Structure formats: structure tokens, C-alpha cells
Chain A
Amino acid sequence: MEEMVATSEQISLDHEHALLDLVGIHAGYGTIDVLHGVELAVQPGQVFALLGPNGAGKTTTLGVASGQIMPSTGSLLLMGKEVTGTPPAVLARAGVCLIPEGRGIFPNLTVIENLRMITFAGVSFSDVLDRAFLQFPRLGERRKQLAGTLSGGEQQMLAMSRALASDPAVLMLDELSMGLAPIIVEELYEQVGHLAESGLSILIVEQFAQSVLGVADVAAIMTGGVIQRIGNPDEIAEELTEVYLGIS
């Protein structure tokens, strides 16, 4: 409760015009509660970075936003419409695109089959192939290869192709940089930047602030299942180190 008061004092979220809107979300797994009243609103065209330490509830927040986790209380709104409890497949076809943590690919499917899976979001196969291979020519060279045998960077590119090809309304990225070499992370975030320029709303979850600073419009710190601070990415990044290292 204390934390919620703090939230409402420091920032004011524009819930009314938000594209993706989480209101008072409490959620968890089984009896384990993870989120304790999350307030989050992503405006059209905004790049929103959600930062915080491990176990803060960032992935769970994305789980709620993508329909994978049913919140115990609170509501999820998409373009002002209440969609709490809608299954993830339906949300996906409605334009919610989540690239999950740790390679959002099907390892035992070939590259081409992985791309074919994207068509279930309601886009034609030829469009998918065109866009994916245009952005990531390397995938075109490996089209017959099993996705599990690709390098980490290529796997993440394959995962990212869904963001590019499925024409989403809102894109959510979970720890895109995890376990990847800095140069590849840079390359991937360049793509994210292009997507942002094209006017796509993006919600990025990262543990490390560094990689998202260039693209984010707004950043927030999450700890203990609540959003503690929302603000300018640079300010937030500085505070983040303090949060991590316990300097207060």
C-alpha cells in the first residue's frame, strides 16, 4: 500500500489515451504473488523501458499484458477496451506481440517453419518471408536449418522477425540482450529503433539499462512487484545502479 501511494505521487500515467494499459494488476503463479498493483500505460508510438532487478516481476508483467497470466485483480486494456482474461492466442491475432525471454523460437523447427508460425497472427506467408529476409538476410541463407542450431544472435533475429513481419499494434520485448555479445545487442536495438521510428508502440523489459537508453522515451524502475519510479530514461538509469547496489 505504501508503495502505491508513492507511485501516485511521483508520476501521473495517462491511462485514458494509452494503447496498452495495465490498471492495478495483482498477479502471480499459483499461491505465489509476484505483482502487487502494477500501473503501466504505453502511449501510441511510445517506447517504454521497464527496468529492474531479477525477481521484480517484469516478466510477469509482460505475461499479464500478453494474456498468458490471468491477473487476480486489476484490468488489462488494449486501445481502451477491457481485454482482461483474453487468451494469448486471441491477443496475438489482435496485434499484441511478445518476444519472450531467452530466444522466442521453436528450436526443433526449421527457420522457414518458424517463419510459417508467424502466419497464425494473420499475415500472409509471402509477406513474412519478404520482410524477414529483407531485414535479416542471414536468415535467408539458413532457411532450411533447424532454429536450435543457429547462433544466439541469429536465434534472436529469428525471434525478432515476428515483431517485424506480423505487423503488431504493440510490441513487447523481454530481455532481448540476455546472453548476447554487445555488438549483436546493438544491432538488434537498431532494428527496435527503426520500428520505433515507424510509430510502433514498444514495451521493453531489460535488467540492464545501458542497452535501451538510446531508444526509450520513458523508463520505469520495478522492484518487488510494483513500479517504483517512472521518468526520463537517463535519470532512471542512474537511479537503477543505486537500486541494484543498495545505495540509498
Chain B
Amino acid sequence: MTSLLSVESVDMRFGGVQALSDTNLKVDTGKITSLIGPNGAGKTTLFNVITGLLAPTSGRVYFKGWDITGLSVTRRSRLGIARTFQKLEAFNSLSARDNILVAAERRRRRDHSDHRRPADIADELLELIGLEDVSDITVGTLPTGTARLVELARALALTPTLLLLDEPSSGLNEEETKAVANLLRKIVSDDLAVFLVEHDMNLVMDISTEIYVLDFGELIAHGNPEETQSDPKVRAAYLGSH
């Protein structure tokens, strides 16, 4: 069986800097896969390559078996790839509800029996994530944590098959982080894969099924949380002794 997402020998060079070298990884539905690594390892770059914001120097990206390397950002999202950003990219001058609506109106229906209108989707998500109280507040004036949740809701409004989350817990307090963890566990299904970049290791170890570790643009480890935690190469990467 082919993986939902497979990144094959992706290289990304910026001038003289090798941001990603020969990166190979697979993400499957029904699982939470995490990508970790020290500062500057190339995690966000990989997300940008997967979503089409960056074109890789070489290598291919496959989604559901299709080669999507040449597709535009918009086309990829219509195929079912949704993401959030490390630095908030909410629509700041729109209300929380309108943020979700913009995405819901561009939603790709999963099957023909799904007749929910965009407004229904927005209301469902506001309730699911607990944003009813701020639904008509301009997102730019919300605290970071809440705005991040709006961004998450917006990504989910696309009813994606692959959800890429870039540091969903940053700016969130402990309680909100737990809520996000529970939410992610809840939404992962046969129809949805979650791919996570995260610095909060408690969160990563808690919810991930599979972890990839990236250091200086290279994948140095791959395994379940326990294996990753005890991997000496991973420890060395985080201590900074190469």
C-alpha cells in the first residue's frame, strides 16, 4: 500500500546553504507523525516543500501516489493538504468565524453524502475547538494561543486528508496544549493523517506514533517515541556536540 504522503530524496539548497539533503519520509493516515530537531534543522522548510510554498532543488513529493511536486499551493490544498504556520498566518482582520468560513467555502467534499454547508462546518468547528465565545472577534486582537486555535480550525475546515501542523503548541498554555493533544487524538482517523513539527517534547512523546528527527537538513533518526528518546544520536544533536 502506498503511503498518503511520501517525500522522496528531497534536496533544498538556498545559495550555499543546504537546508534539506536527501530527505525521505512517509506519512500515513490514522497516525500522528512528528518531525523534531534542533533549531534550524530544516523542519519548516520541509513543510514549505510539501505544501508547495517552496520548490525543492531536487526530489519529488507524492500525495496519494500522485506526483504533486509541480502543483501550486492552491491545487495541493484542493487535493486535501492543509497546514498551519509556525508564525501565525491567520486572517487578522477577519473574525474567527470568517477565518474558518474562507476555508470552508473552498472545501473539497470527501464524499457525496456530505451536504454540510460552509456555515455548518464553521459552527461545528467553533464548537469542537471551543471558540464559540470569540467567533465574532477579529483574530488579530486575540491572544496568540487562541489565534493559533483559529488557524487550526481553519485548516480543519478544508476537511483535509493530510494536516500539517507547524508548532501548534507555541503560544499556548499548558491547558490549551492538553486540549490540542486531545483534539488531535480525536480527529486522527482512517481519513486523516496528522504531521506535526513541535518543540514541546512532552506533547510529541505523548501523542506521536512515529517520530522523524531532522538535524542540519538530514534525517538522523526515525522510530517510535521510546526509541527516539533513547537514541544517542538524537541526544547528541540536542546537546550540540557533533
* Residues of chain A having any CB pair with chain B under 8 Å: 28, 31-33, 53-55, 175, 177-179, 182, 206-211, 237, 240-241, 243-248
B201 and A207 within 8 A (CB): no
Which residue of B140, B201, B205, B240 contacts A31 across the interface (Cβ within 8 Å)? B140
Task: For the complex, give the distance between the alpha carbons of A8 and B168 in Å.
Answer: 29
Q: How many residue pairs between the two chains, A and B, have CB atoms under 8 Å in the bound complex?
A: 70
Q: Known pairs A31-B143, A246-B204, A248-B202; list 17 more (Cβ under 8 Å).
A: A33-B171, A54-B38, A55-B167, A55-B170, A178-B40, A182-B242, A209-B239, A209-B240, A210-B241, A211-B240, A240-B238, A240-B239, A241-B235, A244-B201, A245-B234, A246-B206, A247-B201
Task: For the complex, give the distance between the alpha carbons of A211 and B240 in Å.
Answer: 8
Which residue of B40, B199, B238, B242 contacts A241 across the interface (Cβ within 8 Å)? B238
A33 and B201 within 8 A (CB): no
Taking the closest CB of chain A, its distance from the CB of B93, in whole angstroms, is 12
Which residue of B143, B144, B147, B229 contacts A247 across the interface (Cβ within 8 Å)? B229
Which residue of B142, B144, B238 contacts A244 across the interface (Cβ within 8 Å)? B238
Which residues on B sit within 8 Å (CB–CB) of A210?
A: 239-241
Which residues on B sit within 8 Å (CB–CB) of A179?
A: 40
Map CB proximity to A onto B29-50 as digits: 1 under 8 Å, 0 otherwise. 0000000001110000000000
Using a Cβ–Cβ cut-off of 8 Å, how many residues does chain B contribute to the interface with A?
30
* Residues of chain B having any CB pair with chain A under 8 Å: 38-40, 88, 140-144, 147, 167, 170-171, 199-206, 228-229, 234-235, 238-242
B204 and A207 within 8 A (CB): no
Task: For the complex, give the distance between the alpha carbons of A241 and B229 in Å.
Answer: 10
Which residues on B sit within 8 Å (CB–CB) of A208?
A: 38, 238-241
A-B contact pairs, 29 of them (CB 8 A): A28-B144, A31-B141, A31-B142, A32-B171, A33-B171, A53-B199, A54-B38, A55-B170, A55-B199, A175-B39, A178-B39, A178-B40, A208-B38, A208-B240, A208-B241, A210-B240, A211-B240, A240-B239, A245-B201, A245-B228, A245-B234, A245-B235, A246-B201, A246-B202, A246-B203, A246-B204, A246-B229, A247-B201, A248-B202
